[in-house]
C-alpha cells in the first residue's frame, strides 16, 4: 500500500490565490519530499523536509510537517497559471535502509488565469 495519501485529489483556483495540498502517511519517516509533474512530463523535485523539521520555505513554496499527526502540507502562494500541474508527496521511511521512496496519488492543481 502507498505510504502517502494526498488531499484534495483535485484543486481549481484563480491566479493570485494560494493553493494548499495535504499529505498523510502511515509510518515513521526520515524525510518527506514534494514533487511537481507537468502533463506528459517526468517529476521535478520541489522541496524536502526532514523529520526533525517543522517548516521549510523555498520561494513561493511553504511546507509544514507534523510527525505526531503523520501529515504534511504544501502551500503555494500567489499562484500562477504556470503552477498548473500534479503535485505528489513522497516519503522515505525510517525503517528501510535507503533508496525506497514511496509516492502518494497526487493532487491535480489547476490555476485559471
Question: Which residues of this protein are in contact with other proteins, per CB under 8 A?
Answer: 2, 31, 33, 35, 41-46, 48, 88, 90, 92, 97-106
Closest separation in Å from C-beta 40 to other proteins: 8
How far apart are alpha carbons 74 and 18 in whole angstroms?
10
Is 102 in contact with 93 (CB distance < 8 Å)?
Answer: yes
How far apart are alpha carbons 31 and 66 in whole angstroms?
12
Nearer CB in complex with other proteins: 8/16: 8
Nearer CB in complex with other proteins: 46/111: 46
Closest separation in Å from C-beta 22 to other proteins: 15
The three-state secondary structure class of 91 is: strand
Nearer CB in complex with other proteins: 19/34: 34
| Residue 45: φ, ψ to 5° | -70, 130
Closest separation in Å from C-beta 8 to other proteins: 14
Amino acid at each position: 500500500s502507498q505510504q502517502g495519501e494526498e488531499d484534495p485529489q483535485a484543486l481549481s483556483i484563480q491566479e493570485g490565490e494560494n493553493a494548499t495540498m495535504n499529505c498523510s502517511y502511515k509510518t515513521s519517516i526520515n524525510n518527506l519530499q514534494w514533487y511537481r509533474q507537468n502533463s506528459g512530463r517526468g517529476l521535478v523535485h520541489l522541496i524536502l523536509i526532514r523529520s526533525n523539521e517543522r517548516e521549510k520555505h523555498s520561494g513561493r513554496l511553504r511546507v509544514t510537517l507534523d510527525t505526531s499527526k503523520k501529515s504534511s502540507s504544501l502551500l503555494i502562494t500567489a499562484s500562477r497559471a504556470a503552477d498548473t500541474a500534479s503535485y505528489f508527496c513522497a516519503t522515505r521511511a525510517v525503517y528501510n535502509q535507503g533508496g525506497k521512496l514511496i509516492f502518494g496519488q497526487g493532487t491535480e492543481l489547476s490555476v485559471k488565469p
